[in-house]
Amino acid sequence: MSLIWLKQTKDTRYEVRSAGNSVRLYTNGVFHSQFNPNTPISGSVWDLLMLPAFFYPAGEIRRVLVLGVGGGTVIRLLNHFVQPEVIVGVELNPVHIQVAKRYFGVNRSEAELVCADAIDWMSDYRGQPFDMIIDDLFFEEEGEPKRAIAASPNWKRQLLSHLTKRGVLVMNFVSAKEMGESGCFVSAATQKRFQSAFRLAMPGYENTVGAFLRTHATSKQLRERLVNTPGLNPQLKSSRLCYSIRNVL
Q: What is the pLDDT of residue 192?
A: 84
Identify the segments of the chain with pLDDT beneath 50.
none
Print burial letters for 122-159: b (CB count within 10 Å at least 16), e (below 16).
beebeeeebbbbbbbbbbeeeeebebbbebebebbebb
Judge whether 5 lies within some domain: no
Give the DSSP letter of residue 54. Answer: G
Judge whether 230 lies within some domain: yes
CA distance 227 to 206: 25
Q: What is the pLDDT of residue 100?
A: 98
CA distance 218 to 225: 11
Judge whether 33 lies within some domain: no
Judge whether 28 lies within some domain: no
Judge whether 238 lies within some domain: yes
Alpha helices (H) in 161-212, listed in sequence order: 176-180, 183-186, 188-191
- Using only C-alpha atoms, the chain has a radius of gyration, in whole angstroms, of 17
Judge whether 201 lies within some domain: yes
Give the DSSP letter of residue 184. Answer: H
Give the DSSP letter of residue 228. Answer: T
Q: What is the pLDDT of residue 155?
A: 93
Give the DSSP letter of residue 240. Answer: -
- What residues does 6 pair with on adjacent strands? 15
Q: What is the pLDDT of residue 130?
A: 98
Judge whether 242 lies within some domain: yes
> With a threshold of 0.85, does the pTM exceed it?
yes
Judge whether 1 lies within some domain: no
Q: For residue 52, give the CATH number of its domain.
A: 3.40.50.150
Domain span at 165? 40-247
Read off the pLDDT of residues 64-74 as tens digits, 9 standing for 90 and up: 999 999 999 99
Count of domains observed in the chain: 1
CB atoms within 10 A of CB 62: 15
